Amino acid sequence: MKYTNFLIASGIITCLVFFALSVSSDEFKAPVSEHTLTISPDQARIISGENVVINVEVKNTDDDKIFIKLGAKDVPESWITYDKQLFNLESGESGNTKMNIHIPEGRIGDYSVSVIAKNPETNVEVAKTLKIEALPPKDKGMSGIPIFPPAEQPVLLLIDALYLLINGIASLLF
């Protein structure tokens, strides 16, 4: 029994050694970054309802030609458009584009956008984070309710007082 176990173990080891020697080490190579991604600026302040333009550069650092697709996540896709989203880059070549982000009116707060450059052939992706602070329009508060300049406030108070007076008189008469 011990001799049989020894023969089985020796056979398994021999097969594993033979397999390891017959397979190229390139087949076990882990995917490495074959491209770089640069975004500028990497943070922005914007009034909700307006746009911010981000410069994006993708560079091929691989020895071969690669295909890159730009994308973003963590915000709705409808907020983002690209001048150019797809790149075929030769070794050492760079591609530039502009990414336009539109924060809809009323969407106030801090957003982190993951900008992604992905090679769909190898599934290698590089991501950068863009921080956006969406501010309310100057004529509206954090709730989106219009704020009137101080010069207009006395007129509004007078209109409110007149409205209350008319309603009060009308309720007494009817």
Q: What is the CATH number of the domain that holds 120?
A: 2.60.40.10
Contact (Cβ atoms closer than 8 angstroms) between residue 46 and residue 66: no
- Domain contains 72: yes
- Domain contains 103: yes
Cα angle: 164, vertex 139, 135; to 5 degrees: 135
- Domain contains 94: yes
- Domain contains 157: no
pTM assigned to the model: 0.60
Contact (Cβ atoms closer than 8 angstroms) between residue 57 and residue 38: yes
- Domain contains 89: yes
- Domain contains 120: yes
Please count the structural domains in the chain. Answer: 1
Question: Which residue range is the domain that position 128 belongs to?
Answer: 31-135
- Domain contains 174: no
Per-residue pLDDT tens listing for the chain (174 residues) = 555 554 454 555 555 455 454 544 444 444 456 788 888 888 999 888 889 899 999 999 888 889 999 999 999 989 999 999 999 999 899 999 999 999 888 888 899 999 999 998 888 889 999 999 988 877 555 455 555 555 555 666 677 777 778 877 878 877
- Domain contains 17: no
β-pairing, 94-102 vs 124-135, is unpaired
